[in-house]
Amino acid sequence: MDSSPSTTEPFDVIIAGCGPTGATLAAELRLHDVRVLVLEQDTEPASFVRIVGLHVRSLELMAMRGLLERLLRHGRQRPAGGFFAAIPKPAPRDLDSAHAYLLGIPQPVIVRLLEEHAIHLGAEVRHGCAVVDFEQDGEGVTVELADGGRLRARYLVGCDGGRSTVRKLSGVGFPGEPSRIETLMGEMAVDAPPAEIAAKVTEVSETHKRFWLRPFGDGVYSVVVPAADVVDRATPPTLDDFRQQLRAVAGTDFGVHSPRWLSRFGDATRLAERYRTGRVLLAGDAAHIHPPTGGQGLNLGIQDAFNLGWKLAARLRGWAPEPLLDTYQAERRPVAEAVLDNTRAQMELSSPGPGRQAVHRLLTELMDLDEVNRYLIAKITGLDIRYDFGAGPDLVGRRLRDIDVEHGRLYDRLHRGRGLLLDRTGRLTAGGWSDRVDHLADPTAALDVPGVLLRPDGHVAWVGDEQRDLNDQLARWFGSPLR
């Protein structure tokens, strides 16, 4: 549905961009009856089918909202190993998750499924609508569209990618490093025999870590090869570019033809100076960009949305404690900083210099130690995230795995996007917060502490068995109780 130039409609939140981050955020807000409009400048889905990966933490979040089974029908599972700098190590043993795998799924499919989910929950999505300007005041934000239309909302969230219009108009700095090297990536048919391809890849990848041909079946391969130079990423590569670089690096172009899609990526690394300016917020690539090494970008954006959604909804519903919305930046920006650092490290390891390759060989040996492999995989998959909630048990600030509870699984109790008090003592209560926090009294829960308070994003806000301490944390995260 397209907007009319004369349209002026009141919304609680306007989201610029309907990629995975924007669609996820819209759905999270709709769980709390927030009036949401999503504006997507593209009129049609992407014409190419790129496979992206959902890591363990994102899979857990999808399970929390009852979306995982739907996604599994459209993707392929693979072990959760070999992600860091593409060093081929097996998945660590006994990862602390019921969803310890990678789900490869076509990007247009995941965008479509998440958008359909948001629309099913009541979000409005308009394609062919680009934000070109906005003004904010003490009551809200007036958004101007490319067709001259003006819309009004109480908040605006930029989920509009690395070249974010919302971020630029907000005057938010985006410091970091520009691309120094670029890489060609695509999917295409390959005529060379598989044994010849495998032998050449083994030979070349000894010195060129940003090089591979990985089979998809039926003669189609994922092809990655260093680009000749750094160019404007808006200029798409051609099949001849791939042929030229394959010959330069490997001495053969392997007979590549019939591309499904072709793209390029650089190692530009940038982080927004702040995630919020008054009533305007940023999420996903609008807030951070980095090389795709380890496949973390889409996951980082989805996790931003899960963190922000319930907090922004709480502000709009009127029960949010005053500092709650500011915890979005306080929690998510350090996570982005850590991802930017690990992608910087991975790109250095992929460089051909002899010193860097010596470090690569050393790290490859170290990753034979299960503790090292587990540590690095936890970084990539998001399992190592611990938000700083202050002093307390180690579990506080971390996610809680999908454990067995009475009549099912824990994550099945989080579909509505509310908080959850899991109580093994039978003595605790959500009391005046029961309109925002569900209570599950279950002495059989597979938990080694007496009780936990979970936020809507699945992170542990409190551990213990004392009602007074629990009440303090209920007020901290869920505001004043109903009288």
Q: Which residue has the tokens 């702040």?
A: 274
| Alpha-carbon gap, residue 111 to 32, rounded angstroms | 22
DSSP element (H, E) containing 467: helix 467-478
pLDDT of residue 336: 98
Q: Which domains does the chain have, with CATH numbers?
A: 10-176+270-349 (3.50.50.60), 182-266 (3.30.70.2450), 404-478 (3.40.30.120)
pLDDT of residue 400: 97
Which amino acid is residue 338, in one-letter code? A
Cβ atoms of residues 290 and 339 within 8 Å: yes
DSSP string across 184-211 = EEEEEEE-S-HHHHHHHHHHHTTT-SS-
DSSP string across 81-93 = -S-GGG---PPPT
| Alpha-carbon gap, residue 254 to 307, rounded angstroms | 45
In whole angstroms, how far apart are CA 451 and each of 106, 205, 369, 411? 40, 50, 34, 16
Closest CA to 437 of 424, 461, 455, 411: 455
pLDDT of residue 217: 84
Cβ atoms of residues 115 and 129 within 8 Å: no
Give pLDDT tens digits along the chain (483 positions).
333 444 455 899 999 999 999 999 999 999 999 999 999 999 887 666 777 899 999 999 999 999 999 999 999 999 999 989 889 899 998 899 999 999 999 999 999 999 999 999 999 999 999 999 999 999 999 999 999 999 999 999 999 999 999 999 999 999 999 988 889 999 999 999 999 999 999 999 888 878 989 898 889 999 999 998 877 666 789 999 999 999 999 999 999 999 988 988 888 999 999 999 999 999 999 999 999 889 999 999 999 999 999 999 999 999 999 999 999 999 999 999 999 999 999 988 888 788 988 999 999 999 999 999 999 999 999 999 999 999 889 999 999 999 999 989 999 999 999 999 999 999 999 999 999 999 999 999 999 999 999 999 999 999 999 999 999 999 999 999 997
| Alpha-carbon gap, residue 79 to 91, rounded angstroms | 6
